[in-house]
Amino acid sequence: MSSPSQASLLLQKQLKDLCKNPVDGFSAGLVDENNLFEWSVTVIGPPDTLYEGGFFNAIMSFPQNYPNSPPQVRFTSDMWHPNVYTDGRVCISILHPPGDDPNGYELASERWSPVHTVESIVLSIISMLSSPNDESPANVEAAKEWREDKDLFRKKISRCVRKSQEML
């Protein structure tokens, strides 16, 4: 089990790497410079998706035993998506604890692994925005609209995108 100091060192390194080599599609920094375990992330809506042009803010909270356990990611911007709970929490496989899925939906290889980094997590979130998984949704209503009423789904996302631009 890694000690908090190992987690701190790893998070410090990942932050430094992201500052040196920024990745298209998002920016990240600390919520409070005295706490390496809470990051503020802005995800830019991917081109050619319904989220294009949006600037969606999220908080990434890391456990003391990172990277053995995954962080939690929660959008603080309004987000309408089948894989985002109504309270903003992101539900994607790589953020689920390592090992076998008790519900049998995911392979162990799809779940959290200590090789993941902030970059790989946020890139997975960007990918999630591009192609929602409505098989095991976190937001059932959004998944239902995604499948059955694309126009209403589009309208709600347009509202989220506009609202995110006004927050700049």
**4 — pLDDT class (breaks 50, 70, 90):** low
Residues 87, 90, 93, 96, CA torsion sign: negative
Cα–Cα distance measured from residue 143 to residue 82, given in angstroms and rounded to the nearest whole number = 5
Would you give the DSSP letter of residue 110? G
Give pLDDT, residue 3: 54
Q: Which domains does the chain have, with CATH numbers?
A: 4-166 (3.10.110.10)
Amino acid at 156: K
Half-sphere exposure of 111 (CA within 13 A, CB side): 15
The residues annotated as belonging to the active site are: 91
Provide the pLDDT for residue 31.
96
Name the H helices within 57-149. 118-130, 140-148
Report pLDDT for 120: 94
Q: What is the pLDDT of residues 104-144, one digit of tens each?
A: 888 888 999 999 999 999 999 999 999 998 888 999 999 99
- Secondary structure E strands in 11-54: 26-30, 38-44
More confident residue, 3 or 164: 164
The identity of residue 11, as a single letter, is L
Q: Is the pTM of this model over 0.85?
A: yes
Neighbours of 103 (CB within 10 A): 8
Whether 75 and 88 have beta carbons less than 8 Å apart is answered as: yes
Predicted confidence (pLDDT) per residue in 59-111, tens digit: 999 999 999 999 999 999 999 999 999 999 999 999 999 988 888 888 888 99
